[in-house]
Amino acid sequence: MISNYKSKFKSFIISLSIRTKITFIIIGVSLLAIVVGFFVVTLINISNLKRDLVIQSSLIAKLTGEYSGYGLAFEDTRNAVENLQHLESVGYILSAEIFDQKGEFFASYHNMPTSRKTLIVNNSYHEFHPDELYIFEPIQSTDGERLGSIFLRVSLVTLNKNVDNYIFWMIVIILIVSTITILLANSLQKLISRPILKLAEITTKISSTNDYSIRINKNSNDEIGVLYDGFNNMLEEIVRNQREMLKVQNELKDSEEQFSTFMKMLPAAAFIKDKDSGFRYVNKFLNDNFSAENWIGKIVLNELPSQKRHFTSELDTQALIDIQHQEEFLYDNKNELRYFETWKFPIQRNEKETLIGGISFDTTKRKLIENQVNYYIKELERNNQELEEFNYVASHDLREPLRTITSYCDLLIEDIGESANSMVREDIRFITDATTRMNVLILDLLQLSRAGRIEFEQKIVDLNELIAIVLKDLELKIKETKTTILFENLPSVKGDATQLSRVFQNLITNAIKFKSANEPVIFIRSEEKNNHYEISVEDNGIGIEKQYFQQIFSAFKRLHSRMEYDGTGIGLAICKKIIERHNGNIRIESEIGKGSKFIIRLKKE
């Protein structure tokens, strides 16, 4: 029961407003202090009144006893009664009794009957009763001998009236002071409650409007002022946090929109799985092509028949640790076979299970192209095989009739001898020259074919040594034509020495062949670029028109007749093919009458 009342009282106190609470506290504390103070003062004053009454009554008793000592000493009762009669002037003395040395009754005030039979008092003392005060004093002679005792009954009516009157005025004063205290409390509580209520009002307004730009004006530097500063600082922090949160939310929204747009436009399959290979996210590509929205929460391996897919979850477990790669195929909504190249990787999260992310690129077209390429490779291998057989035929079977024709022409000349006229001899010579040109043409064709297919040894080649060997081979032609060839500080490149020798031999031979009226001069130089060398072979020959710069690198493309310059027109085509097999290129710079400059571009080692 008591705890129930206490709970209700506590709830009542809590439900009060801060203004009422402060008022109650001020009034309660003030009234308690006033009541306790007045109560203590009243007790002290009552105690002082009683003490004064005791002192005054004891003094009267002592004086009366001294005056009555003669009567006791001489047993003169009349003298004692006369002394007691003087107490009549003291209105609050109700009775007085004197007892002799033996304690027996001796005399009384107004000869009233004794209140007790005997009384022996050795020391002064008193007793308070409801309406009376008893005073007991010993009567002594001048030399200190006890002669008897005196007993006074003192009325407390006057004292009680004084006390009641005092208490009445104290209550009146308390009520007046309490009223003043209540008025002051109601006024003073505003000094504390008004700032707090203002703070509560501002807080309510901010809560209802979400306007955190509101601020409280500080009016003091006390604790309320500190509270206002703290509240304003808190609002500033909230505004700052809101701005940062809004910025983060906008960035997150932008990121989500970008991610959503990216996944929507991504021309590849993207997905997220849990650690048990169950799908948790699929992008638009999968939804459009495989109705993958039905995969969410499922392990697709358990849903699709094996003939409809070729992928497993074996790599999923490994993908929880590291990036995994595999090739897969799957039939789409149209029951068409699609090939994919898939990468799976771990998505690690703080204090959450690791997920499996994946992206699969559609390689169907590439797969079909690869199949076609493989088919063409096989066809090319077959054609190369046929070309090898043709080369064999060309180098043996086709050249054999030419040798036969040449031989029979020689025999025919011998058989005819001098009897043949000049016209016959000229016809036979034409036949012999034609077969010779045919044989050279077949050999050049073989060289061109082999230049693009022959395997060559890749090693470091010093071009200075290589050019020296080429010049040694062409020494006779160089002397006959009085050709000057200058070169120095050529680099070393990676390639096949035999094939590169053929390139420079063809270029030098052409420079000598297509010389001008002046003696041939050939410069072989090199220039180092970022990641390659440019080796140039420059002459002072007849030059070439710009419109023929590309044509001269094609097989059998001649710019002059055989009457002017011999050859089949296949040399530069062979040079171009060899340089291209070295991952380089060749080009020409030339002007008519000023010579030509062939520039070979080769990568550094």
The half-sphere exposure of 329 on its side-chain side, counting CA atoms within 13 A, is 12
Check if the beta carbon of residue 126 is closer than 8 Å to that of residue 58: yes
Among 14-28, 236-250, 325-339, 430-444, which is the least confidently predicted range? Answer: 430-444
Q: Could you tell me where the DSSP H helices lie in 210-281?
A: 223-265
pLDDT of residue 361: 81
Average pLDDT of the chain, as a whole number: 76
Report how far residue 603's alpha carbon sits from residue 491's, in angstroms, rounded to the nearest whole number: 11
User: What DSSP character marks residue 393?
Assistant: I
pLDDT of 11 strictly over 60: yes
Equal fold, 21-165 vs 266-361 = yes
Nearest to 101 by CA among 77, 66, 126, 75: 75
pLDDT digit string (tens) for 85-104? Answer: 777 777 788 888 888 888 88
pLDDT of residue 518: 79
What are the extents of the domains in the chain?
A: 21-165, 266-361, 369-435, 456-603
pLDDT digit string (tens) for 191-211? Answer: 666 777 777 777 787 778 877
SS3 371: helix
pLDDT of residue 400: 63
Report how far residue 516's alpha carbon sits from residue 118's, in angstroms, rounded to the nearest whole number: 182
Nearest to 487 by CA among 526, 543, 532: 526
pLDDT of residue 310: 47
pLDDT of residue 427: 67
Place of tokens 């046929």: 386
Q: Is the pTM of this model over 0.85?
A: no
Higher pLDDT, 500 or 310: 500
Higher pLDDT, 55 or 313: 55
pLDDT of residue 425: 66
Among 179-193, 421-435, 470-484, which is the least confidently predicted range? Answer: 421-435
Higher pLDDT, 14 or 559: 14
pLDDT digit string (tens) for 528-585? Answer: 888 888 888 888 887 777 766 666 666 555 554 444 445 455 667 778 888 888 888 8
pLDDT of residue 307: 45
SS3 442: helix
pLDDT digit string (tens) for 462-508? Answer: 889 888 888 888 888 888 888 888 888 888 888 888 888 888 888 88
SS3 217: coil
Check if the beta carbon of residue 239 is closer than 8 Å to that of residue 212: yes
Report how far residue 544's alpha carbon sits from residue 109's, in angstroms, rounded to the nearest whole number: 175
Which superfamily is assigned to 456-603 in CATH?
A: Histidine kinase-like ATPase, C-terminal domain (3.30.565.10)
CATH number of 266-361: 3.30.450.20
Check if the beta carbon of residue 275 is closer than 8 Å to that of residue 356: yes
Length of the chain equals 605
> What is the DSSP pairing of strand 532-539 with strand 105-108?
unpaired
Check if the beta carbon of residue 197 is closer than 8 Å to that of residue 19: yes
Tell me the two tokens of residue 134: 């008893």
Q: What is the mean pLDDT of residues 289-304?
A: 68
Residue 10: pLDDT band (50, 70, 90) is low
In this structure, which amino acid lies at residue 78? R
pLDDT digit string (tens) for 351-385? Answer: 788 888 888 888 888 888 888 888 888 887 777 66
SS3 365: helix
Residue 445: pLDDT band (50, 70, 90) is low
pLDDT of residue 173: 84
User: At 592, phi and psi to the nearest 5?
Assistant: -60, 130
State in words which class domain 21-165 has.
Answer: alpha beta
| Backbone CA torsion sign across 463, 467, 473, 474 | positive
pLDDT digit string (tens) for 107-147? Answer: 887 667 777 777 777 788 888 888 888 888 888 877 777 88
In this structure, which amino acid lies at residue 271? F
Instruction: For residue 297, give the H/E element and its range.
Output: none
pLDDT of residue 260: 79
Q: What is the mean pLDDT of residues 241-259?
A: 83
Report how far residue 479's alpha carbon sits from residue 472's, in angstroms, rounded to the nearest whole number: 11
pLDDT of residue 560: 47
Q: What is the mean pLDDT of residues 331-355?
A: 82
Q: What is the mean pLDDT of residues 514-533?
A: 82
Residue 235: pLDDT band (50, 70, 90) is confident
Check if the beta carbon of residue 587 is closer than 8 Å to that of residue 579: no
Among 127-136, 245-254, 330-339, which is the least confidently predicted range? Answer: 330-339
